[in-house]
Amino acid sequence: MDLLAAFGIFLACVAGCMIKELSLFWALLAGFVCFFAVGVRRGTPVPDLTRMALGGMASSFKVLRILLLLGLLTALWRAGGTVAYFVWLGVRLITPETFVLVAFLLSSAFSLAFGSCFGVVGTAGVILMTIARGSGANLAVTAGAVMSGIYFGERLSPASSSAALTATVAKVDQREFQLRMWRATPVPFLTCLVLYGALSFLYPIRQVDAGILSALEEGFSLTWPAILPAVALLVLPWLKVSAIVSIAVSCVLAAGCALFVQDLPLGEVFQACVMGYRPALPQLRELMSGGGLISMLSVVLIVILSCAYSGMFSGTGLLSPVTGRVGALAERRGLFTAHVAVSLGCCALFCNQTVGIVMSGQLLEEEYRRRDLPPAALGENIGNSVINLAGLVPWAIAATVPLTTMEVSPAILPLAFYLYLLPLWCWVLSMRRKNSPKIS
C-alpha cells in the first residue's frame, strides 16, 4: 500500500509539472523522496539507501560527459554555420512535388548529425513547418514527416544521449550498440521513403518562399568549411574513435568555423557555449537560437535522478512484484513484446524517455541473465523499443516538445511512420526468432 501511495504522489507531481510547464526533474525529485521513505519504512537503513542511490548516480557519469559536450556542440554548430548550411542546402533541393520527402530526409540527416530530436525540431523542424505554412502544404503530413525524421538519429547518431544512456544501462560499448541498431533500420527507413514519396506527390506545395534562403545567406557565410564539424562527427565513429572524442573534435572544428568563417569574436563564442547561441540577424533569432551548456541542465538532472532510482530499486527490490509480472509476459510473448509493454507503460507513467530507458533495463535485465543472453541483446531491444515509442505517447515530453514546437496536435502522430514501423519490424523479427537461443 505504501508503494502505491508513493506512485500516486509521484504521478500527481508529474501531472502538476506538465500543467504548469515545469521540468519533470521536480516530479522525479518528489518521487525519489517518496520511494526513499518507502524503503526506510520497509526496514532498509538510510545509509544503505543513500549508498544505493549514489551507486546508481555514479553509473550516469559517462552519459553526463556526453550531455555536456552535446550542449557545446548544439551551440557551436549554430554559431559556426553548420546548421544554417544544411538547412540552406536542403531548402534549395525542395520542389513542389518533393517537399514532404525532403522534409523527412532533411530531418533525418540533421538527426543523424545532432542525435537530439529536440535540437532538430527546434531548427530544421521549425524552418520546414514555416515553409509548409507559407506554401500551402498539408501541415499534418509535413509534421508527420518531420516527427519521423527527428527520431532517426536517436538510436544511430554518435551524439545521441539516448544511445549513450542505453549503452550504459545495458553495460555495452556505445559503438557496438549502435552498429547493432543499424541492422533493423533499412526496412523501416526505406518504407518511409516510399510512403513520404507518395505523400509528396499527392500533396504538392506552391513555390518555396525565398525569404528564408535570403536570411540564411545574409546571416551566415555558407561555405564548405561549415560542413566539416558534421563530417567529423559522422566519420570518426566508423574509424573506431569513441563518441566522446568524436563529439569533442566536432566541437573544436565548429568553434574554428565560428571564429574564422563566421568572424565571431572569441567572447561571443564562449558566451554561446555557456548560454546558447543567438544570431545577430533578427529574422534568424527564432530559428537559430539555442544550445549551450545551460540547455542541458534539466536533462542532466533528470538522468542523474533516473539512475538514482535505478540504484535504489535494484538494491531494495521494491519493484520485485512488477519484475515478476514482466518476466511472465516475456515468457509467454517473448522478450521484445515485454520491452514494448514496459516502454509504453514507463513512458505513459513517467512521461519521460530517459526514465523509460533506465526502467526497461531495470525490469528486464534479470530475464536476459536467466536465458544466458549477452548484454548486447538487452541494449538492442531497449534501443529498438523505448527510444522510438516514447515519441508516440502524446503526453510524454518526447512527443509534447516536438508537437508544441511545430504547433500541431497529437493527431499527426499516425503520420509519423518511422516511430512505429521500426518497433513493428523488430517485433516481426523477434517473432521469427522466438524459438532461437538468440532472441533479439
Asked if residue 316 has pLDDT above 80, the reply is no
Q: Is 330 contained in some domain?
A: no
Q: How many angstroms separate the most distant Cα atoms in the chain?
A: 69
Span 3-32, pLDDT tens digits? 788 878 888 888 888 787 777 788 888 888
Span 203-255, pLDDT tens digits? 988 776 667 778 888 889 989 899 899 888 888 887 878 878 888 999 999 99
Question: Does residue 152 share a domain with residue 29?
Answer: no
Nearest to 314 by CA among 164, 161, 171: 171
pLDDT confidence of residue 409? 86
Question: Does residue 237 share a domain with residue 169?
Answer: yes
Local confidence band at 330 (pLDDT 50, 70, 90 cut-offs)? confident
Question: Does residue 128 share a domain with residue 21?
Answer: no
- C-alpha span between 110 and 84 (Å, rounded): 11
SS3 24: coil
Domain that holds residue 79: 62-296
Question: Does residue 81 share a domain with residue 35?
Answer: no
Structural domains in the chain (count): 2
Asked if residue 439 has pLDDT above 70, the reply is no
Question: Does residue 152 share a domain with residue 9?
Answer: no
Question: Does residue 66 share a domain with residue 39?
Answer: no
Q: Is 23 contained in some domain?
A: yes
Asked if residue 437 has pLDDT above 60, the reply is no
pLDDT confidence of residue 215? 85
Q: What is the mean pLDDT of residues 166-182?
A: 90
* Cβ–Cβ < 8 Å for 144, 416: yes
Question: Does residue 178 share a domain with residue 31?
Answer: no
Asked if residue 438 has pLDDT above 60, the reply is no
Q: Is 212 contained in some domain?
A: yes
pLDDT confidence of residue 243? 75
Asked if residue 350 has pLDDT above 60, the reply is yes
pLDDT confidence of residue 436? 54
Question: Does residue 187 share a domain with residue 96?
Answer: yes
Question: Does residue 89 share a domain with residue 229?
Answer: yes
Sign of CA dihedral 354, 356, 358, 361: negative
Q: Is 129 contained in some domain?
A: yes
Question: Does residue 17 share a domain with residue 118?
Answer: no
Let me know if 4 is exposed, middle or buried by CB neighbors in 10 A (0-12, 13-18, 19+): exposed
Q: What is the mean pLDDT of residues 343-355?
A: 82
Question: Does residue 275 share a domain with residue 202?
Answer: yes
Q: Is 310 contained in some domain?
A: no
Q: Is 98 contained in some domain?
A: yes
Question: Does residue 136 share a domain with residue 205?
Answer: yes
